[in-house]
Structure 1
Amino acid sequence: MTLRLSTVILPVDRWHEGGRAAWQRAEQLGFHTGYTYDHLTWRAFRDRTWFGALPTLTAAATATERLRLGTLVTSPNFRQPVTLAKELMSLDDISGGRVTLGIGAGGNGFDATALGQDAWTPKERADRFAEFVPLLDRLLTEESVNHQGTFYSAVESRNIPGCLQRPRLPFAVAATGPRGLRLAARHGQAWVTTGDPKLFENGTPEESRQALAGQLDKLGKACAEIGRDIAELDKVLLTGFTPEANGVLDSFDAFVDFAGHHKELGFTEIVIHSPIPDSEFAADQAVFERIATEALAQL
């Protein structure tokens, strides 16, 4: 099984003061995909520079040639399927068909209330996600869509000529619960996890791997329910949220050990954060670049 290595480049630098260079460097280092977070702001960066994901990816598309581009993840918290589909179709065209949409149900952060609404309960998020994903699938594959749902509407919504990638750009669905996993099985070309959040602070690496194995097992069952082979989905692990946290980037050997264990579990793509000084994603740039260029050869 081949393992791919990708990176997250948070949108924290002005484009002409490091932003463009970060995406071009990711391509030079050979990463499979450069992702960014699709938030209005995020956690410790609440009072720091933070740019929009889709404009950033559009700029990155014109500054690179081979690097795939994507979100980790877009959510219904402040997105609407009709307008999002148009923007994604356009981005797919500008990039020459290099876009992956990472998509999840969202959480309770600033995004959840920025438009003036009360934060949704977990059930409300799951309900919206269950309508959002199938509708977005239709919007990106059909020339004209009509939909009148509980949360979203589309009236003769047209997306012509459609995506360059056919039948549409791939979805990487972030999910751990049963409803989300069923959406990943039915609509995803990939599945995304960050591990079990309950283990982040006090769990052990072994407990984390056991939890991830359990998630993979549940994904397999969700696929089997609809007659799909789980092997058809890429399995993506976004690092930084397991008990190892950013210790994964402490040394080259630490990363190779981490990646080897998770490759054995069945993951096909591991995503590491590009270093950001003075943040929870601070790391040695030289170690990061060595991992990017040499680690896969050790696995």
Structure 2
Amino acid sequence: MSLRLSTVILPVRRWHEGGRDQWLRAEQLGFHAAYTYDHLSWRTFRDGPWFGAVPTLTAAAAATERLRLGTLVTSPNFRHPVTLAKDLITLDDVSGGRVTLGIGAGGNGFDATALGQEAWSPRERADRFAEFVALLDRLLTEGSVSHEGTFYSAEEARNIPGCVQKPRLPFAVAATGPRGLRLAARYGQAWVTTGDPKLFEDGTPEQSLEAVRGQLARLDKACAEIGRDSQPMEKILLTGFTPEANTVLASVDAFVDFAGRHRELGFTELVIHAPIPDSDFAADEAVFEKIATEALAQLDS
């Protein structure tokens, strides 16, 4: 089974002070795609620079030619399907059809209350996500949409001419629970996981593999329940959140070992974070670039 390698570029650099260069370098290194987080701020980066995902991706679309671009992930925390759809159609147009929307339910981080709302319960978050994804799917495929839902409404929302990619740009749905996996099965062209967060600090690589194997099995089941073959669906692992996170980018050999074990499970794309000094994603830039250019060939050999 073939495996693609992609990267995440966090939006922490000014565009003309290294930001643009990172996206260009990702294309030069041959990454399949470059994603960014869609947050208002994120964890340890909260009190430092953090730029918006959609403007950043639009600038990256204008600066690059072949690299796929996307969010990993967008959530309902501070987005509305109507305005998001308009932004995505525009981004898909500017990029010439190179956009993937990574989308998830979100969490109770800073974004969850930034607009002044109370943090949602797990049930409400799941309910909102289901309605959000279904409405966004319509908005990206229909020229005019009206919808009166529990959480979101649209009144003759126009989205002409629609996406460059048909019938719409692909969704990569991040999910591990049963409701999320059903959404991935119904609407996703790809599925995303970060592994099992409960194992990040105290688990072992073997336990992590077993947990992810279980997630894949549940995805297969969710697809089978609606008569869909899960095999053609892309399976994406966002790395950096499994027990071996600190060693995956330590060397090419370490990454190849990690990648091989996850390819055997059925993953088709691994995503690694571009190094950020003095952060959770600190790594040797030279090793990162060597992984980008040599690891897949070494894995195949």
* TM-score in same-fold range (> 0.5): yes
Q: Percent of pairs identical after alignment?
A: 82
Which letter maps to 1:267? Answer: F
Kept in 2, the 8 Å contact 1:249–1:287? The answer is yes
**The residue matched to 2:198 in structure 1 has which SS?**
helix
Q: C-alpha displacement at 1:232, in angstroms?
A: 2.2
Residues of 2 paired with 1:259 and 1:174: CA distance? 20
Q: Which residue of 2 aligns with 1:205?
A: 205
Structure 1, residues 243-273: CA drift from partner, whole Å, max 9, x if none?
0113100111100000000000000000000
Kept in 2, the 8 Å contact 1:209–1:262? The answer is yes
Alignment of 1:240-279 (within 5 A): 240-279=240-279
Q: Which residue of 1 aligns with 2:161?
A: 161
**The residue matched to 2:277 in structure 1 has which SS?**
coil
Alignment of 1:6-25 (within 5 A): 6-25=6-25
**The residue matched to 2:72 in structure 1 has which SS?**
strand
Residues of 2 paired with 1:20 and 1:45: CA distance? 19
Moved over 4 A (4+): none
Alignment of 1:53-92 (within 5 A): 53-92=53-92
Residues of 2 paired with 1:98 and 1:270: CA distance? 18
Residues of 2 paired with 1:71 and 1:278: CA distance? 24
**The residue matched to 1:166 in structure 2 has which SS?**
coil
Which letter maps to 2:201? Answer: E
Residues of 2 paired with 1:245 and 1:293: CA distance? 20
Alignment of 1:273-292 (within 5 A): 273-292=273-292
Q: C-alpha displacement at 1:298, in angstroms?
A: 1.7
Residues of 1 paired with 2:121 and 2:244: CA distance? 29
Residues of 2 paired with 1:123 and 1:78: CA distance? 18
Alignment of 1:102-117 (within 5 A): 102-117=102-117
Alignment of 1:78-157 (within 5 A): 78-157=78-157
Residues of 2 paired with 1:213 and 1:41: CA distance? 31
Counterpart check, 1:5 vs 2:11: no
Counterpart check, 1:32 vs 2:32: yes
Residues of 2 paired with 1:140 and 1:232: CA distance? 22
Kept in 2, the 8 Å contact 1:39–1:52? The answer is yes
Which letter maps to 1:2? Answer: S
Q: Which residue of 2 aligns with 1:232?
A: 232
Structure 1, residues 69-104: CA drift from partner, whole Å, max 9, x if none?
000000000000000000000000000000000000
Q: C-alpha displacement at 1:159, in angstroms?
A: 0.4
Kept in 2, the 8 Å contact 1:57–1:69? The answer is yes
Q: C-alpha displacement at 1:30, in angstroms?
A: 0.2
Residues of 1 paired with 2:182 and 2:79: CA distance? 21
Residues of 2 paired with 1:161 and 1:275: CA distance? 38
Q: Which residue of 1 aligns with 2:190?
A: 190
Kept in 2, the 8 Å contact 1:239–1:246? The answer is no
**The residue matched to 1:108 in structure 2 has which SS?**
coil
Residues of 2 paired with 1:131 and 1:116: CA distance? 21
Residues of 1 paired with 2:294 and 2:202: CA distance? 31
**Over the residues paired in the alignment, what is the CA RMSD in angstroms?**
0.4
**Structure 1: which 5+ runs fail to align?**
none
Give the number of aligned pairs.
299
**Structure 2: which 5+ runs fail to align?**
none
